[in-house]
Amino acid sequence: MTLISDDVTRRIGAASAAFGRLESRLWNERGVRLNTKVAVYRAVVITTLLYGCESWTTYRRHTRSLDQFHLKCLRRIARIKWQDRIPNREVLSRCGISGIEALILQAQLRWVGHVHRMPDSRIPKAVFYLELASGSRTLGRPLQRYRDKLKANMQSAGIDPRKWETLACNRSKWREVCHSGVQHFEENRVAVEVEKR
């Protein structure tokens, strides 16, 4: 189990530098359409930001930091000022992109499907299914393991954690399940956000 706070901070720094390099050339250009800017943002900034996220065990604080950066960038790209009082869900809708939690979920689901289909001799698969024979936990609530978080993410995406391995055996079927699961997750997130207001 590893804590990812330092990695998240580094990723945000690298993505911020990538975003800044395109400020004058692309984001401030009025002649470029918004969907083109978002496509470049997704290809350059999001891939830098979420590099290696497939193996992260994210807590709420990590997701909040990543989401704040994501939305700040999108607001700058779409030229939405804080004075406009436009909610985050509207910013995501205008830009046609998912929230950061959904992007991480999609990456993790695809990755675990890939790992499950690997031969048993491969190291990533051996580590993924590894169980410690002995050891003890400290007092208090234990830190979440990758598997605990993955199970919770699958449930929030409407995927039965007991059946995912069967579904993941078929690559195209698993891809469909991942896509519909992420859509389900995003719809629930938006519904909860609307309910809070």
Given this model, what pLDDT does residue 64 score?
Answer: 94
Given this model, what pLDDT does residue 42 score?
Answer: 95
Amino acid present at 15: A
Q: Work out the burial of residue 172: count CB atoms within 10 Å of its CB; fewer than 13 is exposed, 13-18 middle, 19 or more buried.
A: exposed
For the chain, the average pLDDT equals: 88
Residues 66, 87 within the same domain: yes
Low pLDDT (below 50) residues in the chain: 1
Given this model, what pLDDT does residue 73 score?
Answer: 95
Given this model, what pLDDT does residue 95 score?
Answer: 93
pLDDT in tens, 158-185: 999 899 999 999 999 999 999 999 999 9
User: Could you give the CA distance from residue 74 to residue 96 in angstroms, rounded to a whole number?
Assistant: 10
Question: Are 79 and 140 a contacting pair, CB within 8 Å?
Answer: no
Residues 121, 66 within the same domain: no
Neighbouring CB atoms inside 10 A of 151's CB total: 16
Q: Which domain holds residue 172?
A: 104-196
Domain count, the chain: 2
Residues 12, 82 within the same domain: yes
Given this model, what pLDDT does residue 134 score?
Answer: 66
Residues 92, 109 within the same domain: no
Nearest by Cα to 105 from 27, 187, 169, 26 = 187
Residues 133, 60 within the same domain: no
Given this model, what pLDDT does residue 84 score?
Answer: 84
